[in-house]
Structure 1
Amino acid sequence: MEQRLANSWNMTVNEKNFIETALLSDLRVDGRRPFDYRRLTIKFGREDGSSEVQLGQTHVMGFVTAQLVQPYKDRPNEGSLAIYTEFSPMADSSFETGRPGESAVELGRIIDRGLRESRAIDTESLCVLAGKLVWSIRIDLHILDNGGNLVDAANIAALAALLTFRRPECSLGGEDGQELTVHPPEVREPLPLIVHHLPIAVTFAFFTADTVVVIDPSHSEEAIMKGRMTVTLNTNGDICAIQKGGGVGVMHNVVMQCLRVASVKSADITTKIKEAVESYNTEKAYRKVKRHPSSAGGQTER
């Protein structure tokens, strides 16, 4: 079954013709050039492991949690990573409550493939007791507003949340060395995940097989696009995953052009994510100092 590409927003013939005519002249209805991204904003919640990403009119929130579980039998020394998506009808009238639709499943698979197959997260470091206990990391992605290109926005939200998440530190003791103690954050500082690299998803929309291609399609552009390709790659130039949807064929030279553009855009997005995380960590450290002032700083002058 061909995956659903466009949203169900009903556009008039005149609206479609206007967008298509503008694209043929390398113009977009929102004023961007073909390979321009919309404005990206990354914010964080008060708790570790929560992020809020806005890409143009697209709004996504990400939350990361962890729990101790038994490992898979074929990987007794590795933790696990799972991604869940929630498409609210408030974000788009085409989304339905209850069972995840095609779009939700496809979105989760694209992000999961980029993270898992590239081994961006060190799952071996999540092992607590080989063959018995490992950390299972869960990423929940909530779509709050669908302004187009949900994949890229959700991928950024997932990465930002992973970089700020902290899991409790564990230790083994007892006579047999198998007694597990999970230390609260007041006793021992929680540990960050080991992230080897950031797989950045960059999505292109195709309107013809040869020339008309744009990056970061908007909601209206998705309604008339003939095909889509998401390239997931890191700043080292490693291609982590490629997802192609739609029936339109794409020429080899167009694909290579998209890869070159995606390499540049992934570096820019990586920089923005790291700067946002660094700012969050600085603010968090400042709040911690204010809550626990030193004895000298806490004394009042007489």
Structure 2
Amino acid sequence: MRPLSPSIPEKEFVLEALGQGLRVDGRAPLEMRQPVLTFGPEFGYVECSLGKTKVICSIDAKMVRPSPERLFEGVISLHSEISPMASTEYEAGYGRPSDAEVEISRMLDKILRRSDAIDKESLCVLAGQRVWHLKLTFHFLSDSGNMLDCACLAGITALRHFRRPEVEVVGEEVIVHAPEERAPLPLAIHHTPLCFTFALFNDSLPALLDPSHLEETLCAGTMSIALNAQKELCVLQKAGGVAMEADAILKLLEIGVMKAKELDKLIEEALAADFATRVVEVR
């Protein structure tokens, strides 16, 4: 039989250290692991790492008929799957998603799709007949804690990195130009939502930003805050039974605003460095 993890001495050690404002990995309570963004050869392929947590987001685009209720809007869909490769805790579901996968998928949908980060009307090619369908696929390679924030960062960076083919409409005919003929076009993005998750503990222990897998296991609850660098709150979700005062929540929001500005700058620099190496002209 597999031993319980974490063990009682390990739990006591972590909680005692947190009481002194220390974390096992040496970070301060409100310190994030340094994100690393790696781009693939295709536009819209991004691998994001937070410590040993790794998530890949890739984007595919195809033309479809719009829904009858949204004749002038494109379609955005998200698909995610946590395979046993991410951690031994996940088992092959044979088509049935795990609870963690459902929770992460719902939050990603709220943050990336329902927050209107992308201008869906700009994805319309021919009103009522042809629109772009963007499919975001998330692959979770390794779970070392806080997969939600890592996936959100990978997803929004992939959207900003993605380029769709230029399309020309002549009468009722739709002509899709290859990248060799005309430079592909970026998506129309209203804002850049970013997610920050805090692990919450009882007994007056500090909230921990970007919790590790061990800290997620030991915490009594979590709070995930999605906002952008313009201080606009997109999603706030609290899980668990830890009571919080309004002032404590506002403090976490202030921290999220500060971190959002830092991550937004990091994304800008990473994109600029990648585009500088591209042969195809980007506009």
Same fold (TM over 0.5): yes
Report the Cα distance in structure 2 between the residues aligned to 1:66 and 1:279, rounded to whole angstroms: 24
- Quote the offset at 1:115 in angstroms: 2.1
Unaligned 5+ segments in structure 1 are 1-7, 290-302
Secondary structure of 1:223's partner?
A: helix
- Deviation string for 1:109-168 (max 9, x for gaps)? 112211223211011000011111110111111100001000110001001111111111
Task: Tell me the equivalent position of 1:143.
Answer: 140
RMSD over aligned CA atoms reads: 1.5
Paired residue for 1:89, among 65, 78, 84? 84
Secondary structure of the equivalent of 2:68?
A: coil
- Tell whether the 8 Å contact from 1:203 to 1:215 is kept in structure 2 after alignment: yes
Aligned residue for 1:274, secondary structure, equals helix
SS in 1 for 2:148: helix
Residues 120-135 of structure 1: matches in 2 within 5 Å?
120-135=117-132
Q: CA–CA distance in 2 between the matches of 1:116 and 1:162? A: 11
Query: Counterpart in 1 of 2:238?
Result: 244
Contact 1:210–1:251 (CA<8 Å) still a contact in 2? no
Q: Which residue of 1 aligns with 2:109?
A: 112
Partner Cα distance (2:54, 2:231) in 1: 28
CA distances 1:239-262 after superposition (whole Å, capped 9, x unpaired): 011111112222222111110111
Of residues 18, 43, 55 in structure 1, which corresponds to 2:38? 43
Structure 1 residue 288: deviation in Å? 4.7
Assess if the C-alpha contact under 8 Å between 1:211 and 1:254 holds in 2.
Answer: no
* Aligned 8 A contact 2:112 2:156 in 1: no
% same residue: 39
| Residue number among 5, 13, 17 corresponding to 1:22 in the alignment | 17
Counterpart-to-counterpart distance in 1, 2:206 and 2:125: 51
Q: Which segment drifts farther, 207-216 or 30-39?
A: 207-216
- The 1-side partners of 2:132 and 2:102 are apart by 24
Residue 283 in structure 1 maps to residue 277 in structure 2: yes
User: How many pairs align?
Assistant: 277
Which residues of structure 2 form unaligned runs of 5+?
A: none
Alignment of structure 1 residues 194-273 onto 2, 5 Å: 194-208=188-202, 210-273=204-267
Determine the C-alpha separation between the residues in 2 that align with 1:250 and 1:117: 27
Which secondary structure state, in structure 2, belongs to the residue aligned with residue 180 of structure 1?
A: strand
